[in-house]
Amino acid sequence: MTEVSLDELGPVDYVVVEFPAAASNFTGEMAAELRALVDAGTIRVIDVLILTKGADGSVEALELSDVDELGDLQAIEAELAELLAADDVEHLAAAMDPGSTAGVIVYENVWAAPFASAARRSGGQLIANGRIPIQAIIASIEADQATATVGD
Cα separation, 11 vs 47, in Å, equals: 14
Cα separation, 148 vs 152, in Å, equals: 6
Based on the shown chain and the rule CB under 8 A, indicate whether residue 134 belongs to the binding site for other proteins. yes
> For other proteins, which is the closer residue by CB, 85 or 127?
85
Stretch that binds other proteins, among 3-11, 30-38, 110-118, 137-145 (CB under 8 A): 137-145
CA distances from 15 to 49, 57, 143, 144, 150 (A): 11, 20, 29, 31, 40
DSSP letters for 69-118: --GGGHHHHTT------HHHHHHHHTTSPTT-EEEEEEEE-GGGHHHHHH
In the range 83-122, which residues lie near other proteins by CB under 8 A?
Answer: 83-92, 94-97
Select from 135, 149, 150, 151 the one that contacts other proteins (CB under 8 A): 135
Could you give the string, one character per residue 61-80, with x where binding to other proteins holds by CB under 8 A and - elsewhere? xxx--x--------------
Q: CB 96 → other proteins: shortest distance, Å? A: 8
Q: CB 122 → other proteins: shortest distance, Å? A: 25
| CA angle in degrees (0–180, nearest 5) for 98-103-109 | 140
> For other proteins, which is the closer residue by CB, 41 or 95?
95
Enumerate binding residues for other proteins (CB under 8 A): 14, 16, 60-63, 66, 82-92, 94-97, 133-135, 137-138, 140-141, 144
